[in-house]
């Protein structure tokens, strides 16, 4: 493994982030959840308490009223108890539904919705004391403990100040009428809850981006992980190269059937064979319709001779066409002149065979740029 490959300083890829989300690993802010639970709980108490207390007061008045019929029919007591219980259960259920909804919404707001059951599946590695001790000293845990200590200190200081400033007022409530005393006590408790929520809100505003930053830090990848993911995503380069080679070989074998359509075949003299076709009405430039090496080159040559296709010897041109041209594609523009020279020779040869002109002499070797000849490149590298 390369040195420093485990230094995780590269941002996480989309694939790793998606896999982490599938495993339930997303950024979650506990302080945002605390804010949602406390805020929704306090709001629901303020909104639902008067309604619930009114219903309970009405129910209690009904429960404590007795007449001769109620005394004679003791079974009605059970019905009264059921009615009172249903009111209490309905109030608790409404409160629980509000808190649950607030908890879910806060989790979705901080990390998004995750459709995964892996976080709740049994994992016995979590009960390993050695790994648990190691997790206590991670950067995330240290920051979490520091944040909790700071918030706890602020809450204690705020509570002490609030209780100290309001204790005299609260103690004087015993001298006031009960309705006025309850109203003042409710306002005092509401103010205290508001200060508590303000502190939790400030903590949540800091914790949400902090958890996002820490999660991105945990998801960072090393150079080795990026390379490994690239291999897994795109496939092993060596295997892909072999697949492409097989595909080229299959395409070359299939291209032998196109040799009878060629205008000429150029060879080197046995290692390379390239069949060229040019139709000035439908083509912008000559195209390679078949090419091959060694046994494939011999096959192209035999098919060409069987169909009376001219087979010419031009080693540099054959190598350049084979290395720089693709099947059924235009040849490189830098080889236009060389191929045009061979085409002119082939046209003269065909005219002579039809009796329309003299037989041309030997084909003069066309000029091929050295940078297109793979053999020339190899020679230069060897001398260098």
DSSP string, 323-344: HH--BTSBPPGGGHHHHHHHHH
State whether 146 and 278 are in the same domain: no
Same domain assignment for residues 183 and 51: yes
Residue 316 lies inside a defined structural domain of this protein? yes
For 266-298, what is each residue's pLDDT tens digit? 998 778 999 999 998 899 999 999 998 888 889
The count of structural domains within the chain is 2
Most confident of 41-50, 141-150, 247-256, 299-308: 299-308
Percent of the chain with pLDDT over 90: 17
For residue 9, tell me if it sits in a domain: no
The DSSP letter of residue 311 is E
Last residue of a domain, one of 206, 230, 254: 230
Same domain, 27 and 115: yes
What is the rounded (10 degree) CA torsion for 17, 18, 23, 27?
A: 50
Whole-model pTM: value is: 0.42
Say if residue 210 is in the same domain as residue 343: no
Element (H, E) at 274: strand 272-277
Tell whether the model's pLDDT for residue 38 goes beyond 80. Answer: yes
For residues 75 and 222, state if they share a domain: yes
Mean pLDDT of the 222-248 span = 72
- Higher confidence at residue 42 or residue 314? 314
Last residue of a domain, one of 170, 202, 230: 230
Quote the domain boundaries for residue 25: 14-230
In a domain, 6, yes or no: no
- pLDDT tens digits, one per residue of 44-80: 877 777 776 677 667 666 666 666 666 666 666 677 7
5 within domain boundaries: no
Please check the confidence at residue 305 and state whether its pLDDT lies above 90. Answer: yes
Q: Are residues 82 and 138 in the same domain?
A: yes
Question: Residue 171 pLDDT more than 80?
Answer: no
- Per-residue confidence at 3, pLDDT binned at 50, 70, 90? very low
Instruction: Provide the CB-side half-sphere exposure for 339 (13 A, CA).
Output: 25
Cβ atoms of residues 221 and 12 within 8 Å: yes
Asked if residue 340 and residue 197 are part of one domain, the reply reads no
Supply the pLDDT for residue 22.
Answer: 72
Half-sphere exposure of 242 (CA within 13 A, CB side): 4
Please, which residues have CB within 8 angstroms of residue 254's CB and are 6 or more apart in sequence?
none
Residue 251: pLDDT over 90? no
Residues 224, 245 within the same domain:
no
According to DSSP, the residues that pair with 290 across neighbouring strands are 275
The verdict on residue 39 lying in a domain is yes
Residue 166 lies inside a defined structural domain of this protein: yes
Do 353 and 316 touch, CB atoms closer than 8 A? no
Q: What residues does 194 pair with on adjacent strands?
A: none
DSSP SS3 for 236: coil
Please report, to the nearest 10 degrees, the dihedral formed by the alpha carbons of residues 116, 120, 125, 126 taken in order. Answer: 120
Q: Is residue 151 part of a domain?
A: yes
Which domain CATH number covers 346?
A: 3.40.1690.10
User: What is the spatial distance between Cα 65 and Cα 36, in angstroms, rounded to a whole number?
Assistant: 42
Average pLDDT, the chain: 78
User: Please, which residues bridge with residue 264 across strands?
Assistant: 276
One domain for residues 196 and 282: no
* Confidence tier at 26 by pLDDT (50, 70, 90): confident
- Of residues 229 and 314, more confidence is placed in 314
Determine the pLDDT at residue 273: 92
Residue 133, token pair as written in the block: 């001790």
Whether the per-residue pLDDT at 130 is higher than 80: the answer is no
**pLDDT at residue 309 above 90?**
yes
Domain membership of residue 279 (yes or no) is: yes
- Could you tell me the pLDDT band of residue 36, with boundaries at 50, 70 and 90? confident
214 and 290 co-located in one domain: no
| Dihedral sign from CA coordinates of 63, 66, 67, 70 | positive
Instruction: Using pLDDT thresholds of 50, 70 and 90, give the confidence band for residue 167.
Output: confident
Domain-terminating residue out of 191, 210, 230: 230
Query: At residue 6, does pLDDT exceed 70?
Result: no
pLDDT at 324: 92
């Amino acid at each position: 493994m390369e040195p420093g490959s485990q230094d995780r300083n590269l941002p996480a890829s989309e694939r790793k982030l998606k896999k982490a989300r599938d495993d339930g690993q997303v950024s979650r802010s506990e302080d945002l959840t605390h804010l949602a639970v406390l805020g929704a709980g306090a709001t629901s108490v303020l909104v639902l308490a008067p309604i619930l207390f009114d219903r309970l007061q009405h129910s209690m008045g009904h429960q404590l009223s007795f007449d001769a019929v109620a005394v004679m029919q003791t079974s009605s007591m059970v019905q009264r108890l059921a009615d009172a219980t249903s009111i209490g259960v309905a109030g608790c259920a409404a409160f629980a539904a509000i808190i649950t909804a607030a908890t879910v919404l806060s989790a979705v707001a901080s990390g998004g919705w995750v459709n995964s059951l892996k976080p709740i599946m049994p994992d016995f590695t979590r009960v390993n004391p050695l790994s648990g001790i190691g997790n206590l000293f991670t950067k995330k845990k240290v920051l979490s403990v520091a944040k909790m200590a700071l918030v706890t200190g602020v809450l204690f200081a705020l509570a002490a100040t609030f209780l100290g400033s309001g204790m005299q007022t609260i103690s004087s409530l015993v001298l006031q009428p009960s309705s006025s005393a309850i109203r003042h006590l409710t306002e005092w408790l509401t103010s205290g809850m508001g200060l508590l929520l303000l502190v939790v809100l400030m903590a949540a505003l800091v914790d949400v981006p902090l958890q996002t930053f820490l999660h991105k830090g945990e998801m960072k990848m090393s150079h080795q992980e990026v390379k490994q993911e690239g291999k897994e995503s795109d496939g092993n380069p060596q295997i892909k190269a072999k697949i492409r080679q097989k595909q080229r070989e299959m395409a070359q074998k299939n291209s032998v059937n196109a040799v009878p359509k060629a205008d000429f075949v150029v060879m080197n003299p046995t290692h390379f064979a390239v069949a060229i076709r040019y139709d000035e009405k439908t083509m912008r430039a000559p195209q390679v319709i078949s090419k091959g090496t060694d046994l494939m080159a011999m096959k192209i040559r035999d098919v060409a001779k069987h169909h009376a296709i001219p087979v010419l010897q031009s080693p540099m041109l054959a190598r350049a066409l084979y290395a720089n041209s693709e099947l059924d594609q235009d040849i490189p523009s830098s080889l236009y002149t060389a191929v045009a020279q061979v085409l002119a020779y082939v046209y003269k040869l065909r005219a002579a065979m039809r009796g329309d002109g003299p037989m041309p002499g030997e084909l003069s070797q066309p000029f091929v740029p050295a940078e297109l000849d793979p053999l020339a490149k190899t020679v230069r590298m060897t001398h260098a």
